[in-house]
Amino acid sequence: MKHLRDDEYCLFVNGGEGSDLWALLADWSDSADEEEWKEHVPRFSRLIRRWQRLGFIKVFRSDAWPAHLTGEEVTGRALDELLADSASWEYRDPVRWTCVASGDRDIQELREGMRAPDE
């Protein structure tokens, strides 16, 4: 059975929930230690970029919560800049929300991701 310590499964679950970027890191690390979260940003930045291009995940930014329902989708260069900005991944009282959400393609189509449970 998959669990949140599998990076792809963690992104899949958080995308289905429209989670903030910091929440993705908290779930993955199973920790409230924001310093620990920082080491996982590169892993999830790469995975988000790849899945966004394939249509399995979307990233939204908004002045109101929930961002995936009220905001604008972030793509291309703007997405690269957002993911590279360490402030995008921090937990704080938000004035803007940034979240991952499920994309337009069904996760069952994903052939390059979701490793077998025994890997």
Q: How confident is the model at residue 51 (pLDDT cuts 50, 70, 90)?
A: very high
Could you tell me which of 68, 64, 83 has the C-alpha nearest to residue 17?
68
CA distances from 2 to 32, 58, 90 (A): 22, 22, 26
Give this prediction's pTM: 0.83
- Determine the pLDDT at residue 6: 79
- Between 3-7, 43-47, 105-109, the lowest mean confidence (pLDDT) is in 3-7
Q: How confident is the model at residue 115 (pLDDT cuts 50, 70, 90)?
A: very low
- Between 11-15, 45-49, 93-97, the lowest mean confidence (pLDDT) is in 93-97
